[in-house]
Amino acid sequence: MPNLPRLRRGPRRIPVGPQPESPSAPRVEEIDAAGLRWINIERPRPMERAWLEERFEFHALAYEDVYSRNQRPKVDEYEDYLFVVLHFPRFDKQVGRLNAAELDVFVGSDFVITLPNEPIQPLDYLFDRCRRDEELRTQLFAKGAGYLLYKIVDDCVDASFPMLRKMGNKLERLEEDIFEGRSEEIVRDISNVKQEIINFRKIVRPQRAALRDLERTRRYVAEDLELYFDDIVDASERIWDMLENYKEVIEALESTNESVISHRVNDILRVLTSISVIVLPLTFVASIWGMNVHVPGEGDGTSFWLLIATMVVLLLAMIGYFRRRGWL
């Protein structure tokens, strides 16, 4: 690729720590140590884009990818820098569902620029730790931009495991609720968990290839770091395997719940059918003696009680027969 990026080193330096938020100032956070700078810009606006373009000559297509939506995970190698796009799951409390948070990263010989389009908790936590702990900052930054990139990606990938554990706990509770007589109530819960698994898979699946590309790259990733990035790939594969397992579990639970509901409906229909069949002969007898014609025993009180006794005997006989056949 052509030699595109050129780091513009002007006399101005951004002070360490978070910058004051005001309409006229770009929201840029920067920390540095051991000759390496980490610049973090959350939800970059046109103002922050102008700030970046003033100091870094990144390719126009890279800038376009930063500000576009639904960019796929990828690793682009330029002559003087790496451009990495990764997605990580993030629970959006406003809509109550799992969405993808995109993290764009520029990696050069002496800088790492992170541009998350949504707050990513492990990224914010690591940046805050490095800002407050000078010893940790020096320890991480002294190993170079490749190691800092590894630490950022590793923390963000590992943050998926607590989400998966919570998802597994939900599946266990659903299984218990199914056999506790709450089948109809948990249909929506099963649908919600199924949607979470689908969304999680949509985030993780395309990223697996990007993480493998990141493992194979040799730009700013020293050879001794290959084992570290291989660990990230292994973690991503474990996440995928867990999601595959959860997908099978939720499908089995959905099928089981439908079977339980169907069995319960069948029991209800069986009882109602049995009652209808039992009452049918009694209705038949009552309808005959209720016809508007002369019938034997008409006007005789003894015949009335004899008819009632016959109907009771017939009722008990039908119930006994149904119980003996296991229909009731």
Q: Are residues 229 and 298 in the same domain?
A: no
DSSP state of 81: -
Q: Are residues 187 and 204 in the same domain?
A: yes
Q: Which segment of 15-29, 31-45, 86-100, 101-115 scores lowest on mean pLDDT?
A: 15-29
The yes-or-no verdict on residue 222 having pLDDT over 70 is no
Q: Are residues 210 and 306 in the same domain?
A: no
* Digit-coded pLDDT (tens) for 70-117: 788 999 888 888 999 999 998 877 767 788 889 999 998 889 999 998
Q: Are residues 254 and 273 in the same domain?
A: no
- Asked if residue 8 belongs to a domain, the reply is no
What pLDDT, on a 0 to 100 scale, did the predictor assign at position 242? 94
What pLDDT, on a 0 to 100 scale, did the predictor assign at position 182? 72
- Asked if residue 210 belongs to a domain, the reply is yes
What pLDDT, on a 0 to 100 scale, did the predictor assign at position 144? 87
Closest C-alpha to 104, from 122, 91, 117, 92: 117
* CB within 8 Å of 250: residues ≥ 6 apart: 171, 190, 193, 194, 197
Q: Are residues 282 and 237 in the same domain?
A: no
Contact criterion met (CB below 8 Å) for 141 and 38: yes
- Asked if residue 11 belongs to a domain, the reply is no
Domain ends where: 212, 241, 262? 262
Domain ends where: 239, 262, 285? 262
Contact criterion met (CB below 8 Å) for 204 and 240: yes
Contact criterion met (CB below 8 Å) for 131 and 16: yes
What pLDDT, on a 0 to 100 scale, did the predictor assign at position 236? 92
Burial 190-229, CB ≥16 within 10 A → b, else e: beebbebbebbeebbeebeebbbebbebebbbeeebeebb
Half-sphere exposure of 8 (CA within 13 A, CB side): 10
What pLDDT, on a 0 to 100 scale, did the predictor assign at position 20? 46
Over residues 206-219, the mean pLDDT reads: 84
H-only helix segments in 103-225: 121-132, 134-141, 145-158, 160-178, 187-216
Over residues 119-127, the mean pLDDT reads: 92
In this prediction, residue 295 has a pLDDT band, given cuts at 50, 70 and 90, of low
The yes-or-no verdict on residue 24 having pLDDT over 70 is no
Q: Are residues 96 and 44 in the same domain?
A: yes
Q: How many domains does the chain have?
A: 2
Domain ends where: 220, 239, 262? 262
Question: Taking all residues of the chain, what is their mean pLDDT, rounded to a whole number?
Answer: 81
- Asked if residue 18 belongs to a domain, the reply is no
The yes-or-no verdict on residue 293 having pLDDT over 70 is no
The yes-or-no verdict on residue 18 having pLDDT over 50 is no
Rounded Cα distance between 277 and 265, Å, is 18
CATH code for the domain of 292: 1.20.58
CATH code for the domain of 73: 3.30.460.20
Domain residue limits at 318: 268-324
